[in-house]
Amino acid sequence: MSSLAEKYPDEVKAILAKYPPEHKRSAVMPLLYLAQRDGGGYITKAAMEDVAQIVGISVSDVAAVVGFYSLYHDKPAGKYRIQVCTDVACALRGADKFVEELCDNLGIKIGETTPDGLVTVEEVKCLAACNHAPVFQVQTPDGLTYHQDMDIKATLELIEQWRKEAK
């Protein structure tokens, strides 16, 4: 397998050009985005090693960035990654119950993917819409969408729409 720098030399060069050489570690996030795109929606251990080598930091430091931000992933998931905010304010507005009921309806646990491979449900912290909880973001290969003031019925209808589109 080739490295990111070998597969995407122009993109890596363009990303690094945005930062002074002594601060190239600042390029870690856009390089991770490139690695995730290349990895089909998640960042492999080999890609983390590539990014670490390119920016001159440890693989542990790169993995810490992946683990901290909800838009980076180190495991494959469904085509639709539903990330429900369960921070304290959202939990007080029913987010904990919402995510539990959603998973029950889908027949999965938090962090799992539906048997058809379409939907993964995850918990995240703070989507900056506490007053609109339950709130979740949906990540797909096409981008990111936000859904606020959701209930189970509307969410299951949305998932059913995705299933129809997938056929």
Residue-wise pLDDT for 40-72, tens only, equals 889 999 999 999 999 999 999 999 999 999 889
Provide DSSP, 79-94: SEEEEEE-SHHHHHTT
Q: Indicate if the pLDDT at residue 75 is higher than 50.
A: yes
Task: State the pTM of this model.
Answer: 0.81
Residue-wise pLDDT for 91-102, tens only, equals 999 999 999 999
Note the CATH architecture for domain 80-166.
3-Layer(aba) Sandwich (3.40)
104-130 mean pLDDT: 95
Vertex 162, ends 157 and 164: CA angle to 5°?
95
Confidence label for 166 from pLDDT (cuts 50, 70 and 90): confident
Domain ranges of the chain: 4-68, 80-166
Q: Is 99 exposed, middle or buried (0-12, 13-18, 19+ CB in 10 A)?
A: buried
Domain 4-68 in this protein, CATH class: mainly alpha
Dihedral angle over CA of 85, 88, 92, 97, nearest 10: 50
The yes-or-no answer to whether 4-68 and 80-166 have a common fold is: no
